[in-house]
Amino acid sequence: MTTSSAPGKIYLFGEHAVVYGEPAVPCAIEQRARVTVEQRSDTALRVSADDLTLDGFTVEYDGAATGVPDVDVPQALVEAAMSYVQDAINQALDAADVEDAGFEISIESDIPLGAGLGSSAAVVVATIDAATRELGTVLSAEEIADRAYHVENTVQNGEASRADTFCSAMGGAVRVEGDSCGCINAPSDLPIVIGYDGGSGDTGKLVAGVRDLRNEYTFASDTISTIGDLVRRGETALAEGDTERIGELMNINHGLLSALGVSSRSLANMVWAARDAGAHGAKLTGAGGGGCIVALDPTDETETALQYTPGCERAFRAELTETGVTQV
């Protein structure tokens, strides 16, 4: 039996634009997914999940689900979650040079499913690490990141970037631009506050919507390029530890993402509540459509304001973590 964990992430800048080769800066946060893998004597796969903002579910199958989990989330999210696990196991088998094997897999997570905090990337990264170790193979964080990216890209129909999986595998703040990935400096004490509306966005649908907009309107293509320029300015602000400047650029980034149609009423309400409370900046994080916003505020004002904001189910602080995927 082997257990590995991997962190979730927030985007300071660059989601959606990163799909088109522009840079993005996600940061790993100390909300983690933990995956326990134990090899079976047969080739079946049994997956149990808890704490993914679901009621919990167990599915046993031999390549295709034989049961439908009874959970209070869109069925598409559950099906995607199972695809992530299955493809992660396939990557582990390939890495360990094992033709076939069955596993008992247990998933626990602090990260809301589909909320923009990198739950799928964390689960995939942790699953690949735990499964390969269970099979007697130890991969580098870089190889885990690469294999996890291919899982996400397959499940998301070629619309994924390397940002989420690289950040989860490596930890810390990272910069991703196309296939180029690297760790960058960022203040370790960024005063991160997260607001969660209790919902989730359909990543594939949202990414496809931005693509359609970009193909139809020049302004959308220009907006994506502008986000890339903003990210480059954000890197400088991060290197200088200029929290106020980082927040200002986050505000602009949110406006540009709203223009691309990926915000929502609940996300907008939380963003404005954070700004009104004095946050340096606030924006949606992840694909959008619902889920989470991230704000920077060293005081208690933003967290308190979010707790009283209609549509906000939960507000909490998050710390950056330098620890990526690790065996527990």
- Which positions are annotated as active-site residues? 164
Q: Tell how strand 103-109 and strand 45-50 pair up.
A: parallel
Token pair of 236 as six digits: 């400088």
The distance of Cα 187 from the centroid of its chain, to the nearest Å, equals 20
State the Cα–Cα distance between residues 250 and 159, nearest whole angstrom.
24
What 3-state class would DSSP assign to 309? coil
Question: Backbone phi, then psi, for 212, in 5-degree steps?
Answer: -60, -40
Backbone angles phi, psi at 92, to 5 degrees: -65, -45
The dihedral built from the CA positions of residue 51, 190, 187 and 281, taken in this order, carries a sign that is: positive
Is 180 exposed, middle or buried (CB count within 10 Å of its CB: 0-12, 13-18, 19+)? exposed
Task: Report how far apart, in Å, the C-alpha atoms of 69 and of each of 10, 43, 204 are.
Answer: 28, 21, 21
Strand partners, 327: 4
- Residue from 280, 233, 282 nearest 23 by CA: 233
